[in-house]
Amino acid sequence: MVVISCKKAEEASLESPKSTFNSPFPKNNKQLDRIFGETLLVKKYNDTLVLNIKSNKYTNLITTKEGDTLFYGKVCIYRDYYYFNHKVNDTSYYISAFKIKGNLIYGLDFGPQFFAVDENILKGVYKKELVSINSDTTVISLKTNKVELKKLFTIIMNNTVPDTLIQPKSTINTISKNELVTEKDEDDSENLEYSVKAYPNPAVDYINVETNKKSSFQLFISSNKLILEGQLTDGKNKIDISNQQSGLYFLIVKNIENNQSKTMKIIIK
């Protein structure tokens, strides 16, 4: 079980959740790095989380900048919610969800949601989800009904304190648009074709950016301050960074045609 750390999650982790689902959420995996880019910046309390995302057709891996794994598994999108499938064993899963509204992100703390599922199921409201429950209510088996899960996690999200996305506004808008991509869109050539490469990394004096679409770029220092911005042609471009201080930067490249964006970490020496 993987839990993004916070005080409430630590307290809850002293015991195991009672409820597990007998299958993952019944939709295809979504490749999160196509939606958010390879890096997601989140303000959580007084800290800034740098979440690194790597995806393939079947799974998503989310790690911290220190290399700790926060999540590995299948992520589905259904009616504006992202559903994370946490595999316990071959027949059991915990499911958590998060949603984005403007620059707010709800549900990054997985652990408390597992126990919130217990609480709501034991109230007897979501009977369509229930497969079985033992006599002392310590083991609960649930099925994955999409409509009922949406209702359940709407209640949970309404009682969740949000964190703040500190991506630039343009990127947040792009994320909101990309949330609406349907399963049919997943293999659409427009989504698959956009390609961006940035090198060398670490960089000195300049960054080469190769893209196959006319694009715009923004370069942010790790404090989220905009340093440079401009336009890129389809092909090879060179960004002058000779006047920039050494440190960690985030390069955001956006397709002008459809607002699809890529976020890359760049080290300037």
Over residues 162-208, the pLDDT tens digits come to: 999 886 544 545 555 555 444 444 433 333 457 899 999 999 999 99
> How many other C-beta atoms are found inside a 10 Å radius of the C-beta of residue 170?
15
Q: Which residues of the chain have pLDDT under 50?
A: 1-13, 169-170, 172, 180-192
> Alpha carbon 170 to chain centroid distance?
17
Examine the domain organization and report whether 43 and 96 are in the same domain.
yes
pLDDT at 165: 85
Examine the domain organization and report whether 123 and 241 are in the same domain.
no
Distance CA 129, CA 145 (A): 6
Examine the domain organization and report whether 158 and 207 are in the same domain.
no
The alpha-helical segments, DSSP class H, found in 52-198 are: 110-122, 146-158, 169-178, 189-193
Examine the domain organization and report whether 55 and 153 are in the same domain.
yes
β-pair partners for 169: none
Q: Of 124, 150, 165, which marks where a domain is finished?
A: 165
Distance CA 107, CA 153 (A): 10
Q: For the domain that residue 255 is a member of, what is the CATH number?
A: 2.60.40.3080
Examine the domain organization and report whether 139 and 214 are in the same domain.
no
In a domain, 135, yes or no: yes
pLDDT at 11: 43
The parent domain of residue 109 ranges over 7-165
pLDDT at 189: 38
pLDDT at 194: 74
β-pair partners for 53: 62
In a domain, 2, yes or no: no
Examine the domain organization and report whether 249 and 151 are in the same domain.
no
In a domain, 49, yes or no: yes
Contact 210, 237 (CB under 8 A): yes
Beta-sheet strands, E only, within the chain: 19-21, 39-44, 47-55, 60-64, 69-73, 75-78, 81-89, 92-101, 104-106, 130-133, 140-142, 163-165, 196-199, 206-211, 215-221, 226-232, 235-240, 247-255, 261-268
Examine the domain organization and report whether 21 and 144 are in the same domain.
yes
pLDDT at 116: 94
Examine the domain organization and report whether 100 and 229 are in the same domain.
no
Instruction: Please give the tally of structural domains in the chain.
Output: 2
